Amino acid sequence: MKVFAHRGYSGRYPENTMLAFQKAAETGCDGIELDVQLTKDDVVVVIHDEAIDRTTDGKGMVRNYTYEELKKFNAGVSFGKVTDFQYIPTFDEYCAWVAGTDLCTNIEIKTGHYYYKDIEKKTLDIIHKHGLEKKVMFSSFNHMSLVRVKELMPEAECGALLGEAGIGNAGYYCHVQGFECYHPGYQCITKAVVDECDRYGIKINAWTVNGMHQLEQLYEWGCNGIITNYPEVCKAWVEYKERDKH
């Protein structure tokens, strides 16, 4: 079972910052999950919310700022005792860094509330620039963004993001749409869901798994991956279970 660091090591460091990504890499996790949006001047940036209010000391929408304006806000403001100033990174900077690691990156395209023009192409251009085609996967709540990714890069691995309620016949749905993965909230996963996805060859990567009970249950059911705020704990536990098997 793969362990993805949710917005980096977000349980201990400010989410979607280079610090959180670097600290996640130190845990030995398998990959990093992050979110991309577009600035006013069409720079692909790494931030979860369409607005900057929750995660920085600024206010307003990402799309209303140029990157030069955006990077002046402190994305580490809620982790004052851990770090001082942390800027919002560009996706290009992240890719330049992650290219030197063995990490896989799960890229969530944030088009569920606002559909950024050509964000899929702009994101893929950066991936091609850094030669990361075999080290990335894509997810989105807006499944049309995944369809667009497939049009531009047919070999791309894509996962349909669903909320905590999930979707019936998830394996069949992903199979018909041409998606390799199903990314639901862990609350909706049962053994039957895992088995149904397995019948269609669909991998399940569940979010956001921070409790030991959920981690143990998903491992027992054969879930392919989990997305967690605490990659160090989860990766150590999975490695222990794998050693115990042998």
Task: Return the active site residues.
Answer: 6, 48
Q: Which SS3 state, helix, strand or coil, does residue 207 take?
A: strand
User: In this structure, what DSSP letter does residue 51 have?
Assistant: B
CB 47 within 8 A of CB 60: no
Alpha carbon distance 85, 228 (integer Å): 24
Alpha carbon distance 78, 55 (integer Å): 7
List the alpha helices (DSSP H) in the chain: 18-26, 67-70, 91-98, 119-129, 143-152, 170-177, 191-199, 212-221, 231-245
